[in-house]
């Protein structure tokens, strides 16, 4: 999952981002609406976490503008406003959930997982490529019925490749999907993940390098996922 956290209070923003990253998710951070706007224009997210009161305006208006432009990414508002009218205004602007501050971090993560599963489009909960099964809901991977133990970043990378099975995923896309824009890894980090995935997936090979372009996950016969 790739998340955009928009919160002007650095301690709160950092705590959310740290917890999400610890769970294996990629996170981009913004302290104001203008920065969030630049991220929205450049990247695709699975979920948005939005503080209502930002230095440059109400995030409710930002979200409404994104919805009007066709951005359907699930969004959760964080706010100190606890009136019913405030929550209703958030839903009317296009929010998918609403959590009042102070909040419990585990509840936030559970809510984000729930709205991300619903998603902006209907996605299969399990993706199959040949005899490989990627169960997104349970975060489990099996090949020929045998469970494969993957680390968090390995699963995130495999999910991204599986969701785009039969299509090339560039190195930059893989890095952004696994780490986020502002937390770049070591120069060969994605190569280490790809090598580990190849080893764990076994044969016949499903994961290939497209020289100069990126990586592709596909069945031996070249058919896309199901």
Where do the domains of the chain lie?
A: 2-118, 126-217
pTM of the entire structure?
A: 0.59
Please tell me the predicted confidence (pLDDT) of residue 187.
67
Q: Is the pLDDT of residue 24 over 70?
A: yes
CATH of domain 2-118: 3.40.50.2300
H-type helices in 48-201, by residue range?
Answer: 59-68, 84-92, 105-118, 152-163, 171-179, 189-201
- The tens digit of pLDDT for each residue in 160-198 reads 898 888 889 888 778 777 776 555 556 678 888 899 999
* Fold match flag (2-118 vs 126-217): no
Report the CATH number of the 126-217 domain.
1.10.10.10
Mean pLDDT score of the chain: 84
Cα angle: 70, vertex 5, 162; to 5 degrees? 65
What's the alpha-carbon Rg for the chain, to the nearest Å? Answer: 18
């Amino acid at each position: 999952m790739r998340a955009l956290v928009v919160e002007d209070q650095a301690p709160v923003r950092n705590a959310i981002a740290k917890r999400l990253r610890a769970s294996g998710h990629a996170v981009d951070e913004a302290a104001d609406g203008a920065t969030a706007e630049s991220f929205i224009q450049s990247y695709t997210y699975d979920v948005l976490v939005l503080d209502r009161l930002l230095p440059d305006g109400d995030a409710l208006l930002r979200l409404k503008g994104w919805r009007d432009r066709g951005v359907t990414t699930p969004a959760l508002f964080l706010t100190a406003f606890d009136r019913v009218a405030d929550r209703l205004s958030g839903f009317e602007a296009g929010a998918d959930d609403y959590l009042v501050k102070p909040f419990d971090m585990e509840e936030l993560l559970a809510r984000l997982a729930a709205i991300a599963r619903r998603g902006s489009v209907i996605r299969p909960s399990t993706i199959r490529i040949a005899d490989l099964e990627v169960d997104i809901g349970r975060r489990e991977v099996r090949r020929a019925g045998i469970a494969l133990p993957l680390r968090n970043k390995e699963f995130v990378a495999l999910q991204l490749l599986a969701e785009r099975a039969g299509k090339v995923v560039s190195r930059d896309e893989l890095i952004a999907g696994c780490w986020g824009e502002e937390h770049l890894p070591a120069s060969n980090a994605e190569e280490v993940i790809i090598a580990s995935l190849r080893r764990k997936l076994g044969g016949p090979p499903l994961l290939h390098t497209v020289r100069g372009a990126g990586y592709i996950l596909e069945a031996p016969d070249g058919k896309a996922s199901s």
